[in-house]
Structure 1
Amino acid sequence: MGGSAFSLLLSSSSFPRLPSAVYEALKARLTPVIQSLYLHVAIPAEAPGKMDHGDLDFIVCSPRESSAYTLAPHSVNAPHDRVKAALGASHCVLADGNRTSNFAILGRTRCVECCKLQGENDIYYQVDIHVTENKDEWDRVVYFHSFGDLGMIQGLVARNVGLVLGVNGLKYQNPPHPTLTLSTDYDRISKFFGWSNERRHAGFNTRKEIFDWVAESRFFDPKYFKSSGAGIKKVKPERTMYREFVLFANEQAARPGVTTMDMEEVLRRREDVRNEALVEFGWRDEVDGHVRLYEARKRLKCVFNGTTVKDWTGLGNNWRGVKIVMDVVRKKHEDEEGILQVLMSEGEVGVKQCVMNAFEVCLQDPAFPPKYGGNKDI
């Protein structure tokens, strides 16, 4: 049901679902209107077999400048009042930037296709305009939202091999290290997964065709497949196409001769695919560098602390003196990051030498070591 954006203004019954004929007529009428406002305009391809629609979604970017108005500097939006007027919208919920604005357009009360839903009351069509920041984002959003739940289904296949595929591309998560975006090129991503770009671009006539296309992925293997549990988000019940795919996958897994794998094998296969993805998209060195740095930081905490400095310098429990030495080391090497580089290049021996050099400098001060100190480690 459309109209959820206007629940505080209008009842849900004011937004009947649109039969395909009404939807197509609305799309044909409004597409030129939106194209007069934005350079790039698309309506994501619908899922095959969809009989009615809750609303009409436009994905747009690059507002056109008109002689009637001047765009604000760096704006990604056509003026909202111009959009509302061009659509003939009665109500709107507006959002600036690369977000979605909602428009309620008064329907034709004598429309034959909807007459059984309308009665004598006014009905509205909800039109959503999702503004993207640039052409690259526009391409990604159009791709991921085409063919109904297909993007979510592709994301589920990716999750099964330890990767994240969404509207912002293919990502590699490896906590506590930073999440990496491996690629935002969906043609390249599809090739990696083993999905035919040519077949997808040609379109699909049935949901079964879509499911068969997804199953062509070299990473879709029924004996490894799971649709719930850790790492997989719960999907809303209205995602019927997604649910149908899960049933399709479960049927594949239930075929004679297909045996499920134990968790150890599942995890081993997942790590193999993740490593392959790093190599394929050129991120292997980057990830290895993050891991080395993370391990070095953990090691630095064990090497450069009050206890080790106390032992190396022989300062005993004179913690104020220990702190002074450590502060001299930090200043000399521009804080912990500089000491970390010493550890990574010269090891613990190098860090100890830095400490002893700082200790020698401190000994030149007649007031060192101070007489009083706390009783807490540094």
Structure 2
Amino acid sequence: MGGHAFALRNKPLFTPRMPLQIYAQILKSTLNALQQHFRHVASPIEGPGKATFGDVDILVAEPLNPDLDTTQRPTTEVAEALARVLGAVDRIWQKGNPTINLALPWPSSEVSENENPDVTEPAKKYIQVDVHMCPSTTNFTWTLFHAAHGDLWNILGTTIRPYGLTVNDHGLHLRIPEIELTNRNKSKIFLTGEPARVLSFLGLDESRWWTSFGSVNELFEYAAGCRMFRVKLEGEEEDGIGAGDVVGEVEGQEGGEKGKKKLKHNDRQRMSKRPMFRLWIDEAIPRFRAEGRYSGETVSREQVREEAFRAFGIRTEYETRLKDHQLSQHLDETWRIAIKSTVPVVDVDPQFRAASVRTLKAVILGGETFDGEVVPAAKTDENGFLDTERVREFVRDHWRKAGEIGMQQQEEKARKGMEAKAAKRTRASDDDVDEKMTESLA
């Protein structure tokens, strides 16, 4: 929430940004208090160069106190218990959100920084502490890893995304490009949620990850050390050394004004909101280009995919999901183009045409018989694919017959529906007679 959770309430609390000394003081006391009640307690490593902080983020897992166990008590009760443990004056929890926002009093020992007598500060200041309840030790470790170093994952994300890799709240994933075009979520195959394996696959030093960076430039140098990062040098394409010749389908990064134009919408939004990410695009990459650094050969998307197959054993899952997607696309196109679009529209009664299309779909895709037999056009190969030209030929030759069958089926369905309604009315009438007879005898 960035320290704004309590400012948005009907009765807002003033939670200004904290200077480093106040942040460090509250972080230490909060960690000490929570360590008495949870087996795992930590705060993600902050990004370098921060002078002020909007809130204090804490991760916890494996409660030692039953009052703080969300598996045994409603989260509202856990939020109240957390407030008591930390001495919070208010708390916020929304259903389904694993994070509980707590408002702690600003340390009373702090001397006000406002020395202007003409400006009146609010009477009370508070500090927002966000406690994230992790459901497992595995989730705790991954979240601590994923949240480290501020915008570092935003920076790495722009590097690995062209290679089909994505990191989210659960782990590292490989995307299937053919599925990605229509459904990004379904295109992702989980690789690992182990930080060490992720960093190893990206070519990044694990021991360096778990320590703070002394400066933003240190962080940028670390990010540029990813084995998939490459700077596209000036004049590359003009000299005939296109990005495709060096890294397959993946271009190097340009940064600056030209690089911004190639960013995705979400990344352009990040530039306006995340100063470190903006510096990476505006200054770091252009500097690397000017210095001629990080411009050597790297891997292609195909190489990364093959390495992921070997490292994480997901070849079968990848190929199966791709095959299922291709078959689904094929059947959809067969329905839309080979069947539906082949049945004439001009000078054909719409109701008759709808009956024809419905029958043909049931015969070709649903396995129903046509004149008592399964037609050759409905037979598939060993992978489940139809011969679309044979389907079109069948539709052209039999759409009228299919329409007649469909109309007959529709009429039969309507007749049975009317008979069912009539039978229902008869039963209702008989029930009324029985009820009246019972009342008269009583």
TM, length-normalised to structure 1:
0.73
SS of 1:329's equivalent?
coil
Aligned-pair CA distance for 1:341: 10
The equivalent residue for 2:415 is none
Which of the numbers 223, 227, 235 marks the counterpart of 1:214? 223
SS of equivalent residue, structure 1 residue 50: coil
The structure 2 residue matched to 1:344, chosen from 382, 402, 419, is 382
Q: How many percent of aligned residue pairs carry the same amino acid? A: 23
Work out the CA distance in 2 between the residues paired with 1:138 and 1:41. Answer: 9
Q: CA deviation at 1:98?
A: 5.2
Q: Kindly indicate whether the alpha-carbon contact (under 8 Å) linking 1:102 and 1:128 is maintained by their aligned counterparts in 2.
A: yes
Q: Which has the larger radius of gyration?
A: 2
C-alpha distance in 1, partners of 2:366/2:103? Answer: 67
Residues 1-38 of structure 1, C-alpha deviations (whole Å, 9 max, x = no match): 954111235667x3222111111111121212122232
SS in 1 for 2:30: helix
Q: Which residue of 1 aligns with 2:279?
A: 244
Aligned to 2:51: 51
Mapped partners of 1:134, 1:65: distance in 2: 15
Distance 1:340 1:185 in 2: 47
Q: Which residue pairs with 1:86 in the alignment?
A: 85
Structure-1 separation of matches of 2:2 and 2:385: 63
Give me the CA root mean square deviation: 4.2
1:132 pairs with 2:134? yes
Distance 1:193 1:322, change over 3 A: closer
Query: Does the 8 Å CA contact 2:59/2:132 hold for their aligned counterparts?
Result: yes
Q: Distance in 2 between matches of 1:231 and 1:278?
A: 30
CA shift at 1:116, angstroms?
Answer: 5.0
Deviation at 1:94, TM superposition (A): 1.6
* Residue 163 of structure 1: how far off its partner (Å): 2.0
The CA deviation string for residues 178-203 of structure 1, in whole angstroms up to 9 with x for no partner, is 22222222211111111011222344
TM-score w.r.t. structure 2 length? Answer: 0.64
Cα distance per residue 1:237-279 (max 9 Å; x no partner): 3422222222212221233598899xxxx9x944443454344
What amino acid maps onto 1:249 in structure 2? I
Structure 1: distance between partners of 2:109 and 2:94: 32
Cα distance, 1:111 vs. partner? 0.8
Structure 1 counterpart of 2:201, from 186, 192, 209: 192
Distance apart, 1:74 and its partner CA: 5.1
Query: Which of 307, 314, 317 lines up with 1:283 in the alignment?
Result: 314
Write the mapping of 1:1-378 to structure 2, written as runs, cut at 5 A: 3-7=3-7, 8-9=9-10, 14-66=14-66, 69=67, 71=69, 73=71, 79-96=78-95, 99-112=98-111, 114=113, 116=115, 119=121, 121-173=123-175, 174=177, 175=180, 176=182, 178=186, 179-223=188-232, 224-225=252-253, 226=259, 228-230=262-264, 233=267, 234-235=269-270, 237-246=272-281, 247-256=283-292, 269-300=300-331, 319=356, 329-330=367-368, 343-345=381-383, 373-374=406-407
Contact conserved, 2:61 with 2:136, CA < 8 A, in 1? Answer: yes
Contact 2:45/2:149 (CA < 8 Å) preserved in 1?
yes
Gaps of 5+ in 1: 311-316, 332-338, 353-367
Distance 2:24 2:378 in 1: 63
Separation in 2 of the partners of 1:327 and 1:120? Answer: 70
Q: CA deviation at 1:123?
A: 1.0
Note the residue ranges of structure 2 that are not aligned, 5 or more in a row: 233-251, 254-258, 344-352, 370-376, 391-400, 409-442
Hey, what's the Cα distance between the residues in 1 that align with 2:125 and 2:53? 14
Q: Secondary structure at the match of 1:294?
A: helix
CA displacement 1:260-303 (0-9 Å, x = unmatched) = 99xxxx9x944443454344322233222222233334444677
For the 8 Å contact 1:105–1:126, the answer to whether it is kept is yes
CA contact (8 A) 2:363 2:378 kept: no
Once the two structures are TM-superposed, the CA of residue 235 in structure 1 deviates from its matched residue by 0.1
